[in-house]
Amino acid sequence: MKSRFKQYSVIPGFGITLGYTLLYLTLIVLIPLSALFIQTANLSFAEFWNHVTSPRVVASYRLTFGASLIGAAINAVFGFLIAWCLVRYRFPGRRLMDALVDLPFALPTAVSGIALTTIFSKHGWIGRYLEPLGIKAAYSPLGVVIALTFIGLPFVVRTLQPAIEELEKEAEEAAASLGANRFQTFIRVILPTVFPALLTGFALAFARALGEYGSVVFISGNMPGRTEITSLLIITKLEQYDFAGATAIAVVMLVVSFAILLSINLLQWWFSVGRRRVA
Amino acid sequence: MGIEVQNVSKTFRSFKALKDVSLKVEDGELITLLGPSGSGKTTLLRIIAGLELPDDDNKGSVLFSGEDVAKKHVRDRQVGFVFQHYALFKHMSVFDNIAFGLRVRPKHERPSKQAIADKVTSLLKLIQLEQFATRFPSQLSGGQRQRVALARALAIEPRVLLLDEPFGALDAKVRQGLRTWLRRLHDEVHVTTILVTHDQEEALEVADRVVVMNQSKIEQVGTPEEVFHKPASEFVIDFLGNVNVFKGRLESGRAHFDSLAMDVPGLAHAPTGNANVYIRPHDLEIDRTKIGSQSLAANIERINPAGAHAKLTLLGVDGNEIQVDLPFERFTALNLKQGELVYVSPRKVHVFAPEYMI
């Protein structure tokens, strides 16, 4: 049978790779996720709605999405800076710094959580200086933001590095010769070129932060309605054998996260098509 | 605007890219910097642009109409720079690319939207790409991209136009077309232009004057005619087109090489010693019979009759390879065959004695 999706190519294997992709995605992603929806289906809509809109749960959404968004935004700025520095300049210790960036990837999240808590608690290295200023870092929403920023950093740096490496130095020189100052060159030439990569890094860091559990539970203090993240709430419900309640919240998380990631992808697609559009 | 480069040196780590170079470019002139790669021509261009700074040795200076710009940043020098690989802004349309230099001006100097649009439209007309205003660089051919880059540079009404091997990445036919176009453009807009190239044909064809560079120094500055017909050094004659070299001796104003001896008027008082004799392939005449003492016997090794000149490779009786360019009519009239024994006689020679140069 001839398919209109299949085009002649010297590289064979469209059928087998697509088949494998579908099978793999089904086994690894779709089946477990559908179990979530099936489990939730045990609830009536009213029960479901009650579960997912109770004040404690809503507060956890706000904290999780809010802190993830802030964390990803901070990383987008400072990750950019770090990636820029690592790519553009040669200095002793650069390789070491480059390796350090990956550390949040590699550390067990619980370890980073404990480490961050130790540093930012009232008597910690940094926390003790923040305390007199009236800033409570650990056991507060700020602590959640700190933890989510920490774990998201490598995503932004690693996606931006290749994009910055590919920047044409001559395009910047051209901009300068045309009279643009560094700021104008950055805004009009550099940023639009690396923007898709920045968006990807942002999306990855954001997605990672949404699902984070290990590092946050230590530093947040888990005060219901104040510093409790959604993943923790799900665990708590599971521990109380409230499976339906846990899955109901999980479904909301899932749908919202998917919607956000999809829209970021669409934005990126729109952006990359925009520059190729034929008049 | 006239440009003057005085005693400029440039060192990259331990590599001397320019050694005490001085150059004067007249207002409205089109000058080419010609030389092999690594000769320092691009470095010199970038120093004039302000993209590189000369060595800080208190000697070097770059003057634009007499004003020292050495300390001025590239964005304040008002130079139009065109790169070999175009360096267009890929995310901007052709229109936006050309308008860039006008849009980044400080508010009080920036032309109105309408004025910018008019300027860009007139430049698009100049580069004959009016219907491509909304295209993106990726949708253009190499030659079109380079024309856009040129228009972008011209938009800021530069005091000087600097082109760094602008046609180097294009194929021969397009290159030829753009070259002629650039010369015509220069005759219209009359902006002082410096073009870097390693293509001697290009340099000789477009330039008012040619600057031949080698090993971080200027070898010769002159009109295309001067550098071609009166080369100042062995390097210049060797670099500008094909040439036959004979090792010989100079004795009281006569050059002796192979079995020949010729008067060299310019070297009448040169000391006796070794000398190299250069003869252009088109300065050699071929005959079947020996004419006087001024001819060499040689065998025809190979004949390439494609072109306005037939290119012949001969092998002298003492093993020297000799290149001869013969006008096609002459070649057909002689009806030369491969393997034939012929006599070659030089019409014009250039002699360089290593320790005594003219």
Pair B309, B282: CB distance under 8 Å: yes
Q: What letter does residue A115 receive in the DSSP assignment?
A: H
Phi, psi of A130 (to 5 degrees): -80, -35
- A176: which chain B residues are within 8 Å (Cβ-Cβ)? 51, 73-75
- Rg of chain A over all Cα atoms, to the nearest angstrom: 23
CB contact under 8 A, A179 and B78: yes
Given CB atoms, is B87 within the 8 Å cutoff of chain A? yes
Smallest CA–CA distance from A186 into chain B, residue:
B104
Q: What per-residue confidence (pLDDT) applies to A1?
A: 47
- A173: which chain B residues are within 8 Å (Cβ-Cβ)? 51, 74, 81, 83, 87
CB contact under 8 A, A175 and B100: yes
CB contact under 8 A, A278 and B135: yes
CB contact under 8 A, B90 and A275: yes
CB contact under 8 A, A178 and B83: no
Alpha-carbon distance B149 to B161, whole Å? 12
Reduced to 3 DSSP states, what percent helix, strand and coil does chain A have, rounded to the nearest 5? 75, 0, 25
Find the CB nearest B135 among A175, A193, A279.
A279
Q: CA of A276, closest CA in chain B: separation in Å? A: 7
pTM equals 0.80
Pair B277, B351: CB distance under 8 Å: yes
Q: What letter does residue B38 receive in the DSSP assignment?
A: T
What token pair was written down for B10? 């440039």
Q: What per-residue confidence (pLDDT) applies to A150?
A: 93
Alpha-carbon distance A144 to A209, whole Å? 10
- Please count the other Cβ atoms lying within 10 Å of the Cβ belonging to residue A230: 23
Q: What per-residue confidence (pLDDT) applies to A279?
A: 35
Identify the CA nearest to B200 among candidates B185, B174, B220: B220
CB contact under 8 A, B139 and A278: yes
* Averages of pLDDT over each 10 residues, chain B, 358 residues: 90 90 93 92 93 86 88 89 92 94 92 94 91 92 92 92 90 88 89 92 92 93 93 91 88 80 75 86 88 82 89 86 90 87 88 67
Lowest mean pLDDT, pick from A8-12, A105-109, A144-148, A160-164:
A8-12
Mean pLDDT of A107-126: 89
Q: What per-residue confidence (pLDDT) applies to A4?
A: 61
Given CB atoms, is B257 within the 8 Å cutoff of chain A? no
The size of the A-B interface in CB pairs under 8 A is 78
Grouping H, G, I as helix, E, B as strand and the rest as coil, residue B352 is: strand
- A188: which chain B residues are within 8 Å (Cβ-Cβ)? 89, 100, 104
Angle (CA) B153-B129-B186 rounded to 5° is 45
Alpha-carbon distance A27 to A34, whole Å? 11
Find the CB nearest A177 among B79, B89, B91.
B79
Instruction: Dihedral sign for Cα B6, B10, B16, B17, please.
Output: negative
Q: Does the pLDDT value for residue A275 go beyond 60?
A: no
Alpha-carbon distance B5 to B24, whole Å? 6
Q: Does the pLDDT value for residue A277 go beyond 60?
A: no
How many residues are recorded in chain B? 358
CB contact under 8 A, B104 and A179: yes
Q: What per-residue confidence (pLDDT) applies to A278?
A: 41
Q: What per-residue confidence (pLDDT) applies to A25?
A: 92
What distance lies between CA B200 and its chain's CA centroid?
A: 5
Smallest CA–CA distance from A184 into chain B, residue:
B104
Alpha-carbon distance A217 to A147, whole Å? 9
Alpha-carbon distance B97 to B77, whole Å? 20
Q: CA of B121, closest CA in chain A: separation in Å? A: 17
B65: phi > 0 → left, psi -120 to 50 → alpha, else beta; which?
left
Pair B129, A207: CB distance under 8 Å: no
Mean pLDDT of A158-162: 94
Find the CB nearest B91 among A176, A184, A275.
A275
Q: What per-residue confidence (pLDDT) applies to A276?
A: 54
Where are the extended beta strands (E) located within chain B?
Answer: 3-12, 15-25, 30-34, 61-64, 67-68, 79-82, 160-164, 192-197, 209-214, 217-222, 244-251, 254-257, 260-263, 273-279, 284-287, 296-304, 309-316, 321-327, 341-346, 350-352
